[in-house]
Chain A
Amino acid sequence: MTTVMEVNGIASGYGEVQILWNVSLKLEKGKLTSLVGSNGVGKTTLLKTIMGLVKPWQGNVVFHGKDITGLAPHTKASQGLVLVPEGRQLFTDMSVYENLEMGAFSKRSKANFHQNLEKVYDMFPRLKERASQKTGTLSGGEQQMVAVARGLMSEPDVLMIDELSLGLAPFLVLDLFEILRRLRKEGLTMLLVEQNVQMALAVSDYAYVVADGRVEIEGPSNEVAANAKVREAYLGI
């Protein structure tokens, strides 16, 4: 098994307030890894720190064997480390098509633009119909589709998704998880941050449970799902 990305002993926070303590994780090639935990434990902060939107206080991020900790977020993205951020963060004044174009801004993804466009339109036929619509006027579900599709347009080597299911209708959540399964089958390496712990554990290969800014439990997802502590605290069983 090859490790595509490694996060080693990350500590970070905002101003004086420390949020993360010595967080380490590994993403294996072609695997879907999930990161679960309650509200406010620092999941989003971890993803932002990995991308460099928040500066790490300690630790490093190794991507394809190289230390990329200090690189600017746009450089990381153009090397294939892509984040679908929490709250979607779309270009709401631009059309769906333009959002997808912006996803393919870097050189590596521009070359296969049309191929990738067809692929995401096939995954989300809805977006093809809405291609020229201003993204800000789409429904929440459609916006989440644009967010994922825009990330995929970057041709990521690692796709990190922050809160895929938040605020969406149950049938849509099922659809999106189906897409995740399909991407996993195609061999995409993913890190999924989810509040829907049950679904995240069901779909992923490996899981990390974060509590209070530290990794509390980690292991193959089925083992984590069987863990008594996890069952009590997160699955309500």
Chain B
Amino acid sequence: MDHLVASLADGLLLGFVYGLAAMGLTIIFGVMDVVNLAHGPLIALGMFGILLLAGASGAGLHPYVALIVVAFIGLAFGFIIYFIAVHRILEAPHLSSLLSTFSINMMIIGVGTAVFTTSPQNVEFSLGSVQIGSVTLLGTRLVAALIALSVTGLLYLFLYRTPPGKAIRAVANNRAAAELMGIPATQTLALSFGIGSMLAMLSGGLIATFFSFNILSGGIYELKSFVIVVLGGLGNPTGALLGGLILGAIEGIVPTFMPVSWVPVIEFLLFVIIMVVRPSGLLGER
């Protein structure tokens, strides 16, 4: 029983970070109807960002300071990817944006493999552990969950309380009307893509503080993000957080009575069930 509670807690902590990654995917989809297939590599770049800035042979920053730098790099990458690969094909059929973001995916992985190889990396970092009753929580995971939760809170404040945040929601809701009201739609779309990339890189950075990784690791989390986004409802950040927690819980609990290899099977089974039973997601409308 204790073991189950501990695994569940561990999984839920991870779930916050998964939720953060999924929010990056869902915000881009919600605003511009683009499924960003470069999401996974961006997560991996977040991991390598922490490695280069805070790893054993890195720039010597504290990992959480490095995380702030990674966030801004994520924002900048998002702008660049938007203007190179997304802006011109916004009005084109979905296949175009899938192909163009997939090309970005291939480029990042190609260059990443050449530069970093695919051997596993890790950031030597520990915060000890916290004992709550009979449950032991890893410090790095606890802090990662808290950071993910804070970033989610900040994202909401941004979207609901600031002019550029409200502009993002307006553009998501009706792009032409936003233009007519004096909102620069292109800049707003670029900002949304920047924020989506930033969330992806942040989640990668957090994962790097407790798991080992290589340049291909983003792929797994990208798949998880898809499952989460479908669970929570496309374009819905709260749904992404909820979906993240559900996925985290599954990952925590399943291995206590089944081999770990069943986890993805169960996750994708859930994916299929949701698609069939409630295609708009748990929190989706309609």
Among A5-13, A31-39, A69-77, the stretch that binds chain B is: A69-77
- Docked-complex contact A102 and B179, CB < 8 angstroms: no
Chain B interface, >50% SS class: helix
Q: How far is the CA of A102 from the CA of B179 in the complex (A)?
A: 10
- Docked-complex contact B183 and A89, CB < 8 angstroms: no
Whole-angstrom distance between the Cβ of B192 and the nearest chain A Cβ? 15
Pick the contact of A91 from B163, B173, B185 — CB < 8 Å? B173
Q: With a CB–CB cut-off of 8 A, which chain A residues contact B176? A: 53, 73, 85, 89
Q: How many residues of A contact B (CB 8 A)?
A: 25
User: In chain B, residues 164-205, which have Cβ atoms closer than 8 Å to a Cβ of chain A?
Assistant: 166-167, 169-170, 172-174, 176-185
A83 interface residue (CB < 8 Å to B) = yes
Whole-angstrom distance between the Cβ of A48 and the nearest chain B Cβ? 9
Q: How far is the CA of A53 from the CA of B185 in the complex (A)?
A: 12
- Docked-complex contact B166 and A102, CB < 8 angstroms: yes
- Docked-complex contact B174 and A91, CB < 8 angstroms: yes
A150 interface residue (CB < 8 Å to B) = yes
Residue interface bits B67-105, CB-to-A below 8 A is 1, else 0: 000000000000000000000000000000000000000
Q: How far is the CA of A130 from the CA of B128 in the complex (A)?
A: 53
A189 interface residue (CB < 8 Å to B) = no
A68 interface residue (CB < 8 Å to B) = no
Among A56-64, A93-101, A200-208, A214-222, the stretch that binds chain B is: A93-101
Query: A89-B174, A93-B173, A94-B173 in contact; A74/B179 too (CB < 8 A)?
Result: yes
A82 interface residue (CB < 8 Å to B) = yes
A105 interface residue (CB < 8 Å to B) = yes
Q: How far is the CA of A90 from the CA of B173 in the complex (A)?
A: 8
Q: With a CB–CB cut-off of 8 A, which chain B residues contact A83? A: 180
- Docked-complex contact A105 and B182, CB < 8 angstroms: yes
A196 interface residue (CB < 8 Å to B) = no
Query: A101-B166, A102-B166, A102-B167 in contact; A77/B182 too (CB < 8 A)?
Result: yes
Q: With a CB–CB cut-off of 8 A, which chain A residues contact B169? A: 91, 93-94, 98
Q: With a CB–CB cut-off of 8 A, which chain B residues contact A85? A: 176-177, 180
**Interchain residue pairs with CB less than 8 A apart (12):** A72-B184, A73-B179, A74-B183, A78-B182, A90-B174, A91-B174, A93-B169, A93-B172, A94-B170, A102-B170, A102-B183, A150-B181
Chain B residues with CB under 8 Å of chain A are: 163, 166-167, 169-170, 172-174, 176-185
Chain A residues with CB under 8 Å of chain B are: 51, 53, 72-74, 77-78, 82-83, 85, 89-94, 98, 101-103, 105-106, 109, 150, 154
